Amino acid sequence: MSDLDERLAAAGRLEDSLDERQRQARIQARLFGEAPPVYIDRYRVGDRLGAGAMGTVFAAHDERLDRAVAVKVLRERGDSAAARMLREARALARLSHPHVVTVHEVGQDGDRTFIVMEFVPGTTLAEWQRGRPWRAVLEAYLAAGRGLAAVHAAGLVHRDFKPSNVLVGEDGRVRVADFGLVRAADAVEAGPAPVDPGQRLTASGALVGTPAYMAPEQLRGQSADKISDLFAFSASLYEALAGVRPFVAPEVEAVLARMEAGPPPLPRPVPAGVADAIARGLAHDPARRWASLEALLAALEHGARRRAPWLVPALARGVIAGLAAWSLRTAPTPATPTAPALPAALRQRPDLAARVLALRAPADAAWRQAALEVLGGPVTEQVLRPARGPVSDLQWLGPDDWLLRFMDGTAERWTAGASSPWPGPTLAAACRPTPEAPALPASFVPGSQAGALACAAEGLVDLGPTAATLYPFAGPLRPLGALPAGGHLLTPDGRDILTRVDSGEVLRQTIGSAEPPAPLAGLAGVQRMAAGGAVVAFAQADGHILTWQAGGRPRRVARMDHPAGGLLVSPSGQWLLAWVDGFVRVWDLEVGGEPMQLPGSWRLGVGSFDASGRWLVLVSADSKATLWNLQTEVAHPLVGHSGIVASARFSGGRLVTGGGDGEVRLWTLEGLDGELVGRHRRAIWAATLDPAGDHLATAGMDGVAWIWPLRGGAPVALIGHEKPVFSVHYSRNGARLATGSGDETARVWTSAGAPVATLPGHEGWAYGLDFSPDGRWLATGSRTGVIRLWPAAGGAGRILGDHGGPDRPRRVHTVAFSPDGAWLASAAKSGEVRLWPMAGGPPRLLPPHAGNGHLLYLPDGTLLTLGADADVRQLTTDGGRVLRTLHHPAAVGGVAASADGRWLATSVQGGDVFVWSLADAAAPPRRLGPHAGHAEFLAFDAPAARLLVGTSTGDLRLWRLDDGTSRPLPGHFGGVRFVGFDPAGVPLSAGNDGAVRRWPVDEDEATLRARLARATRVCPTADERAAWFTPAEAAQLGCAP
Amino acid sequence: MTWTGLFPHTQAMSDEDLLRRWQAGDRAAGQAFFQALYPVVVRFLRNKVADDVRDDLVQQTFMAAAQADFGGRSSVRTWLLGIAWRHLASHFRSAGRLQAREVELGTLSVAELGRGPESQAAWRQEERLLLEGLRSIPVHAQVALELHYWEGMTAAEIAAVTDTPVGTIKTRLRDGRLALERALSRLAASPDALQSTLDDLQGWARRVREAWATPG
């Protein structure tokens, strides 16, 4: 036989592995219904539990000790590999930790290594975490993380941490498992990155480890260490909280690119602190991740505790006590500490379960939901269950009286009643539609008792004939006689009935008039009508949209490419909304001009404006209700309905929504969000208050600067720059302001907006402006680091010098005069800080920072310098001496001093803000945060009682410095570029979304407490009442039966 | 591996006796038959299909054997492998891996047919090399070589398994062996070539993509 023949014959040898024996036994069992038992050592092997790249896990029975175990049989990897694995498995066997699967024994069977572990009945974390509240998920991961940390402490690296490698026992205990890949940490860390394919790839080519959770260095085939484990842990936790993996892309290269860009933000309600901690765990550069798993776990715990700090613990306790009644009939707390018990039926309905948990369990979930609703969006004030089917329309007639239309099986019914008693009687037969007379348009006259209800059937219109017993209308009820067939509309003034007939004409008949109906001129092919205020709107088949007011002629508003499918006019008559071709457009009829187009897809015909014209509620194509603030253009989802939202309407001064399940919710909108002061067409890059604090000047990327008077009056546009305006500064007396632009000029303006001077010749741009204290000079910095001094009244400037060195980024970030006017300080991107003596002479070089130099003169004349390092230095006015260095845990990004000079706020990369006492150098700083994104912009209010923080992601947060609580001010899209307070102490902000906003927040704790109590007071359904409460308990719930 | 001693009354019986008793309803005989011939069928299938498919094909082969007519024209082993071969060919076709044309089984290799055996981690480098080599030659040649070397079959027996003229099998054995030598020398001459075959970077990228596309 040739060599090849021998080798070929030898290759016919079959593997004798447990896995192979198991497979044969399994096929035999399938063929014959039974199979001989398979043993490995003394363990009788049962079902295969799973297989990974490194081996296969079987359920097994220890015949000697008579206990269930799990046996993992490792794949053969050569003698040295087997020996190493054996050594490492034995290290694991010595490790005993409640959150690590116990290894009983490591043994050899033939040339196979097997590991005997405790058998954990239960599920994997991957299964368990689905649909759980974030807090329960986080708890489980904290436990798993402690187990993984114990593995690290034993000198081992897991290398394949992922949710499916963590077991959650039926006892609720979380255990890290699957150590097939575990290796001694030193073996991995020693030497250069190993490219042994046996480590990266198994012989069959499978990756060692799981790519979806792998750290970038692992994906690139480099060594995996504890910090790679930390990444995998963070990726797993991210997925558990977000529902999606942090870095998803079809190609490895694209995944790596996304890793470099960083993970997308975690959705609410995950606290920012938790999200930030995870984000750092996912840093592309291992050196930027947490130094250890313990550090990450501590940050996660800290972040979770800091949820909703505005609501002080006393308030939380009050609410939880108030909620205690809701838990009376829930099942006893099960063994699983992180999984509240749910009725069996609810386990099938995670959506409903989430709501019940959120609203009824006296645990963190309820607290979170309540806080979310109170602080972040509209709050449910009351829940009613008046109907059996989807509520398709509803009206509020008075403070307590209501009327609604719902589907009862296939029949449509109206019902009317009052909040109490409940439910009310079904409306009388005359207003119930029949198959022969299906249409029932009901119109109401706002603010009028006369003719409050019109019912139409078979062309007849009666004004409240039968509802009169329920609603005593003033005035006689008059039958109108026959109307033309078609769609009817009661005009807003209650005087006319408009009928749209099949020909597309609109016929008008005055109520009480003997005249026959007459066509309204100027209309043709009308398909839709709507009324509001004094305005009636029409949509024609040719795409025209027109409005009409009594006494006038129809007027064109717009012509669309497609005819509008529906129209809506606000009760004020100000807003006209049209559903056109799948989009919603809103016109401001008072102002005119182009319509707003609301992003998203909205259900045709379902929507409502409130009486003030400030709010619009719409229902999306997927049946979720959203509330729009038409002034600020902020959208708030209405969180509360368990299923679809079938109808939504402002009525009787309230927002009311009807669910597909017959549930009706009333919402309170008080204190919902800020006011829009004004808007740039593009992002706002910088803003500043004038010295008196009653004007705000903003610099826009649209090339315009605006002055916004905060005490009333019209804003003034500063027009002249040809490129984006980057900076804006007031003179000390407020009489002048200067702007700097990418058009290489700086400009000086009067405080009324009149141009004074144009100062040309800056290289790249004029940035970092400041007026001298006496107002005579303006200092500027350019992109190439040149510092210039200009007469503020105009004229030729002179060059003071520049931030030298061709090889360093010299662009000037800040220039500032000392309060005594003797020095001009400038800071450059290189981190270099210079002091230029105004009396002449060479500049003084101050201790540099690592980059991104920034500086600030404090009210007492001392100078603060900072940069991309962790130190903030306080120096004497002339920069000659460092008075104090404030050390931070990370690079400093923002700084602000209180007006009285007693406090200094600084922010560091990662979102934390520190408040330092400038009076007491020994006092440690207070830490506020974390925030979502970098908290670059900070401002104290005048008494230094509150601190406003704006971040690069649009997070705006108002901190109270007395108790360290905060509340979010939601509304900015994109980064915040300015924060401040107006003279009345009202927070102000401006940002990348181009908006200048004002935030009147005057709620005291009692108001918040009341709102929170309302938010959490939800009436159970009849079924829930029956299932969960005794009659006596139900009577105590404070809900109508 | 063997399972002697489990079914004493069947020990002395031939494969054919066991098969006939199984087909007559003796389950114990059936189990003994299965245990005796399982390695043969597995050895035949293991280097051609993925693990889960292999188990299914093994089961299908034995289920078919329980009902099929054994004419006695060849040995039971040859007859059983013929059943396995037909199930394997049917799998390749039904899986859409190629059109039902014999010529393609003759020209395409298992590697090209997209097979992915997963249990090879245990195989020593030398065996891996051979198996890779076998997988990289046309399926018909691979089958002929494997049956010849692993089951000790003659050309006539192989012809019976695959229902092919003996002359064709002889050609396949000769050509297949040359093709295998070429493949092995190509793989062995350059460690990089072997490594690249094993690493299969594109396949790696694809597997990574798949790992992302599915949960867990």
Q: Do A32 and B180 touch (CB under 8 A)?
A: no
Look at residue A268 in the predicted model and tell me its pLDDT: 63
Q: Do A126 and B215 touch (CB under 8 A)?
A: yes
Q: Is A215 left (phi over 0), alpha (psi -120 to 50) or beta?
A: beta
Q: Do A126 and B34 touch (CB under 8 A)?
A: no
d(CA A854, CA B98): 68
pLDDT surpassing 70 at residue A994: yes
* Lowest mean pLDDT, pick from A160-174, A175-189, A862-876: A175-189
Q: What is the average pLDDT value for chain A, to the nearest integer?
A: 74
d(CA A990, CA A999): 11
**Entry field: residues in chain A:** 1041
Q: Does B123 touch chain A (CB under 8 A)?
A: yes
User: Which of B150, B200, B211 shows the shortest C-beta gap to A205?
Assistant: B200
Beta strands per DSSP E along A518-653? 518-519, 526-532, 535-540, 544-548, 555-559, 566-569, 575-580, 583-588, 596-598, 602-609, 615-620, 625-629, 634-637, 645-651
Sheet of strand A487-490: strand arrangement? A487-490, A496-500, A506-510, A518-519
Mean pLDDT of A762-791: 91
Amino acid at A745: T
Look at residue A769 in the predicted model and tell me its pLDDT: 92
Copy the structure tokens of residue B14: 């031939």
Structural contact between residues A193 and A265, judged by C-beta atoms closer than 8 angstroms: no
pLDDT surpassing 80 at residue B136: no
Choosing from A160, A225, A276, A993, which is the catalytic residue?
A160
Extract long-range pairs of A43-51: CB within 8 Å, 24+ residues apart.
A43/A69, A43/A71, A43/A116, A45/A18, A45/A21, A45/A71, A48/A19, A48/A22, A51/A19
Look at residue A545 in the predicted model and tell me its pLDDT: 95
Is domain A126-305 annotated with CATH 1.10.510.10? yes
% of chain B with per-residue pLDDT over 70: 63
pLDDT tens for each residue of A431-462: 333 343 333 334 333 333 323 333 333 222 33
Residue A494: DSSP 8-state = S
User: Which of A5, A14, A252 shows the shortest C-beta gap to B208?
Assistant: A252
Q: Do B119 and A204 touch (CB under 8 A)?
A: yes
pLDDT surpassing 60 at residue A832: yes
Look at residue A707 in the predicted model and tell me its pLDDT: 94
Mean pLDDT of A482-503: 73
Q: Does B14 touch chain A (CB under 8 A)?
A: no
* Lowest mean pLDDT, pick from A232-241, A395-404, A603-612: A395-404
Mean pLDDT of B110-137: 54
Structural contact between residues A753 and A717, judged by C-beta atoms closer than 8 angstroms: yes
User: Which of A12, A203, A219 shows the shortest C-beta gap to B120?
Assistant: A203
Q: Do B149 and A13 touch (CB under 8 A)?
A: no
pLDDT range class, residue A52, cuts 50, 70, 90: low
pLDDT range class, residue A399, cuts 50, 70, 90: low
Amino acid at A378: P
d(CA A381, CA A70): 53
| Sign, Cα dihedral of A590, A596, A600, A603 | positive
Look at residue B142 in the predicted model and tell me its pLDDT: 85
pLDDT tens for each residue of B18-42: 898 888 888 888 888 998 899 889 8
Q: Is B105 left (phi over 0), alpha (psi -120 to 50) or beta?
A: alpha
Look at residue A577 in the predicted model and tell me its pLDDT: 94
* Lowest mean pLDDT, pick from A464-473, A479-488, B173-182: A464-473
Going from N- to C-terminal start, the domains of chain A cover: 18-118, 126-305, 500-598
pLDDT surpassing 60 at residue B122: no
User: Which of B63, B117, B131 shows the shortest C-beta gap to A31?
Assistant: B63
* Chain B closest-CA separation from residue A252 CA (Å): 7
d(CA B39, CA B57): 13
**Entry field: residues in chain B:** 216
Give the residues across from A116 on adjacent strands. Answer: A71, A105
Look at residue A898 in the predicted model and tell me its pLDDT: 94
User: Which of A7, A206, A251 shows the shortest C-beta gap to B130?
Assistant: A7
pLDDT tens for each residue of A519-543: 998 899 999 998 887 899 999 999 9
Q: Which residue reads 């497979």 in tokens?
A: A23
CA triplet A421, A427, A429: central angle to 5 degrees?
150
Structural contact between residues A462 and A468, judged by C-beta atoms closer than 8 angstroms: no
Give the residues across from A780 on adjacent strands. Answer: A788
Q: Do A4 and B59 touch (CB under 8 A)?
A: no
Query: Is residue A599 helix, strand or coil?
Result: coil
Structural contact between residues B194 and B188, judged by C-beta atoms closer than 8 angstroms: yes
Nearest to A675 by CA among A998, A369, A921: A998
Q: DSSP string of A562-576?
A: S--SEEEE-TTS-EE
Q: Do B123 and A203 touch (CB under 8 A)?
A: yes
Look at residue A210 in the predicted model and tell me its pLDDT: 61
pLDDT range class, residue A822, cuts 50, 70, 90: very high
User: Which of B122, B149, B213 shows the shortest C-beta gap to A12?
Assistant: B149
Q: Which residue reads 């409306």 in tokens?
A: A427
User: Which of A8, A15, A205 shows the shortest C-beta gap to B119?
Assistant: A15
Highest mean pLDDT of the ranges A130-139, A362-371, A476-485, A1020-1029: A130-139
pLDDT range class, residue A235, cuts 50, 70, 90: very high
pLDDT range class, residue A189, cuts 50, 70, 90: very low
Q: Does A77 touch chain B (CB under 8 A)?
A: yes
Copy the structure tokens of residue A104: 């009983």
* Rounded-to-10 torsion of CA B181, B41, A56, A105: -100
pLDDT range class, residue A88, cuts 50, 70, 90: low
Which residues in chain B touch residue A214, judged by CB atoms under 8 angstroms apart? Answer: none
**B151, closest residue in chain A (CA to CA):** A12
Which residues in chain A touch residue B31, judged by CB atoms under 8 angstroms apart? Answer: 28, 32, 34
Which residues in chain B touch residue A242, judged by CB atoms under 8 angstroms apart? Answer: none
**A78, closest residue in chain B (CA to CA):** B124
A285 is catalytic: no
Best of B10, B127, B178 to substitute, by most chain A Cβ atoms within 10 angstroms, is B127
Highest mean pLDDT of the ranges A877-891, A992-1006, B112-126, B178-192: A877-891
* Chain B closest-CA separation from residue A548 CA (Å): 56
Copy the structure tokens of residue B121: 């981690």
CATH number of A500-598: 2.120.10.30
**B27, closest residue in chain A (CA to CA):** A32
pLDDT tens for each residue of B63-76: 889 888 888 888 88
Q: Do A211 and B34 touch (CB under 8 A)?
A: no
Q: DSSP string of A245-308?
A: -SS--SSHHHHHHHHHH-PPPPPTTS-HHHHHHHHHHT-SSGGGS-SSHHHHHHHHHHHHHTSS
Q: Does B131 touch chain A (CB under 8 A)?
A: yes
Look at residue A198 in the predicted model and tell me its pLDDT: 27
User: Which of A11, A19, A202 shows the shortest C-beta gap to B131?
Assistant: A11
* Lowest mean pLDDT, pick from A34-48, A89-103, A355-369: A355-369
CA triplet A92, A93, A99: central angle to 5 degrees?
70
Q: Do B212 and A248 touch (CB under 8 A)?
A: yes
Query: Is residue A108 helix, strand or coil?
Result: strand
Neighbours of A848 (CB within 10 A): 17
Q: What CATH class is the domain A18-118?
A: alpha beta
Which residues in chain A touch residue B55, judged by CB atoms under 8 angstroms apart? Answer: 23, 26-27
> Measured in Å, how far apart are chain A's first and last C-alpha atoms?
94
* Lowest mean pLDDT, pick from A242-251, A327-336, A575-584, A909-918: A327-336
Which residues in chain A touch residue B119, judged by CB atoms under 8 angstroms apart? Answer: 15, 17, 19-20, 204
Neighbours of A642 (CB within 10 A): 17
CB contact residues (below 8 A), chain A span 157-176, against chain B: 162-164
> Measured in Å, how far apart are chain B's first and last C-alpha atoms?
35
Residue A1020 CA: distances (Å) to CA of A353, A655, A847, A1037: 13, 20, 66, 9
Q: Do A19 and B119 touch (CB under 8 A)?
A: yes
Q: Do B128 and A203 touch (CB under 8 A)?
A: yes
Q: Does B195 touch chain A (CB under 8 A)?
A: yes
Look at residue A378 in the predicted model and tell me its pLDDT: 66
Between residues A689 and A630, the one the model is more confident about? A689
Q: Does A210 touch chain B (CB under 8 A)?
A: yes
% of chain A with per-residue pLDDT over 70: 69
Look at residue A478 in the predicted model and tell me its pLDDT: 44
How far from the centroid of its chain's Cα atoms is residue A544's Cα?
Answer: 39
CB pairs under 8 A between A and B: 136
Which residues in chain A touch residue B64, judged by CB atoms under 8 angstroms apart? Answer: none
How far from the centroid of its chain's Cα atoms is residue A344's Cα?
Answer: 32
CB contact residues (below 8 A), chain A span 902-961, against chain B: none
Nearest to A907 by CA among A922, A923, A879, A886: A886
Best of B120, B145, B182, B202 to substitute, by most chain A Cβ atoms within 10 angstroms, is B120
pLDDT tens for each residue of A300-359: 888 776 433 322 222 222 222 222 222 222 222 222 222 233 333 333 333 333 333 333
d(CA B135, CA A711): 83
Best of B187, B212, B214 to substitute, by most chain A Cβ atoms within 10 angstroms, is B212
Q: Do A204 and B212 touch (CB under 8 A)?
A: no
Q: Does A206 touch chain B (CB under 8 A)?
A: yes
Look at residue A447 in the predicted model and tell me its pLDDT: 32
Q: DSSP string of B2-14?
A: --TTSSGGGTT--
CB contact residues (below 8 A), chain B span 140-169, against chain A: 145-146, 149-151
Q: Do A207 and B207 touch (CB under 8 A)?
A: yes
Look at residue A757 in the predicted model and tell me its pLDDT: 94
% of chain A with per-residue pLDDT over 90: 22
Amino acid at B28: A
Residue B138: DSSP 8-state = B
| Sign, Cα dihedral of A228, A232, A237, A242 | positive
pLDDT surpassing 60 at residue A194: no
CB contact residues (below 8 A), chain A span 217-276, against chain B: 219, 245, 248-252, 255
Which residues in chain B touch residue A250, judged by CB atoms under 8 angstroms apart? Answer: 209, 212-213
Nearest to A336 by CA among A173, A123, A101, A144: A173
Q: Does A1 touch chain B (CB under 8 A)?
A: no
Q: Report the half-sphere exposure of B165 (CA within 13 A, side-chain side).
A: 3
Q: Does B133 touch chain A (CB under 8 A)?
A: no
* Chain A closest-CA separation from residue B150 CA (Å): 5
pLDDT tens for each residue of A124-161: 898 888 878 788 889 899 999 999 998 888 888 888 88
Peptide bond into A421 cis (omega under 30): yes
Contacts of A130 (CB under 8 A, 6+ apart): A350
